[in-house]
C-alpha cells in the first residue's frame, strides 16, 4: 500500500469537506474554499474526524493516484486552515520590488521594468529595508498556485552561481562557483 496514500488526513475544527457525485472534493475552512477533481477510481471517505483516500486495486496507476490525491487534499486542508507563505529575496545592486494591489513591479537590472499581474487568490507585499535585500512576500491558501507564481517570478532573474545575483527564496542555499583564476607564468 502507498505509504503516503494510507495515512489518514486529520480534519481540524472549522474545516468541512464534501465530495460531490462527480468526485469533486470541496474543502471549506476559516481562510476560504478550495476544489479538487478526483479520479473516478479513487474514493474519498470521512471517518471519525479523519479523511481516508482509498484505491480499488494494486495497479500501478491506482497506486500513483492514491498518494497523489491524498497529498493534494491534505495540502487543501492545510491551506484553508493556516495558509501558505513564500518569501523571495532580490540579491543585486539596484534590484527593487514594489507592489500596488496585486501588481508587482520589478527592477532586475534589465533595460526595462517587469510588471507582473498576480492572480486574485494571492496576496503580495514587498519590503525594502536599508542595508537589507528587497523581499517579496506571497500568501495564499492554494499551495500549487503560490508555488507556480513563485517559480515564475524567480525565473525572471534566476540566481547565478558566481556572485549569487538574482531572485532567490529566503533561506535557499546556492551552489557557488569560483571565478576565473589568474594565469601562472
Helix 143-155 to helix 60-81 angle (10° resolution) is: 90
Record the pTM: 0.88
Q: Identify the three-state secondary structure at position 153.
A: helix
Buried-exposed string 11-34: b where 16+ CB fall within 10 A, e elsewhere:
beeebebebeeebebebebebeeb
Grid coordinates belonging to 86: 513564500
DSSP letter for 172, please.
Answer: P
Q: Which domains does the chain have, with CATH numbers?
A: 4-82 (3.90.930.12), 84-169 (3.90.930.12)
- How far apart CA 117 and CA 105 sit, in angstroms, is 9
pLDDT digits (tens, 9 = 90+) for 8-57: 899 998 899 999 989 999 999 999 999 999 998 899 988 888 999 999 98
pLDDT digits (tens, 9 = 90+) for 123-174: 999 999 998 999 999 999 999 999 999 999 999 999 999 998 999 999 989 8
pLDDT digits (tens, 9 = 90+) for 68-120: 999 999 999 999 999 999 999 999 999 999 999 999 999 999 999 999 899 99
Grid coordinates belonging to 55: 484505491
Amino acid at each position: 500500500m502507498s505509504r503516503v496514500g494510507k495515512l489518514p488526513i486529520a480534519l481540524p475544527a472549522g474545516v468541512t469537506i464534501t465530495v460531490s457525485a462527480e468526485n469533486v472534493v470541496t474543502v471549506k475552512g476559516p481562510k476560504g474554499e478550495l476544489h479538487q477533481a478526483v479520479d473516478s477510481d479513487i474514493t474519498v471517505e470521512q471517518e471519525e474526524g479523519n479523511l481516508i483516500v482509498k484505491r480499488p486495486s494494486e495497479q500501478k496507476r491506482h497506486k500513483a493516484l492514491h498518494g497523489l490525491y491524498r497529498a493534494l487534499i491534505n495540502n487543501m486542508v492545510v491551506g484553508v486552515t493556516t495558509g501558505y507563505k513564500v518569501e523571495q529575496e532580490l540579491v543585486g545592486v539596484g534590484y527593487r520590488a514594489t507592489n500596488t494591489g496585486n501588481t508587482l513591479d520589478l527592477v532586475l537590472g534589465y533595460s526595462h521594468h517587469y510588471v507582473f499581474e498576480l492572480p486574485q487568490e494571492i496576496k503580495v507585499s514587498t519590503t525594502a529595508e536599508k542595508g537589507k535585500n528587497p523581499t517579496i512576500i506571497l500568501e495564499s491558501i492554494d499551495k500549487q498556485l503560490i508555488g507556480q507564481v513563485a517559480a515564475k517570478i524567480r525565473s525572471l532573474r534566476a540566481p547565478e552561481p558566481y556572485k549569487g545575483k538574482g531572485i532567490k527564496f529566503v533561506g535557499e542555499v546556492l551552489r557557488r562557483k569560483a571565478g576565473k583564476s589568474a594565469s601562472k607564468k
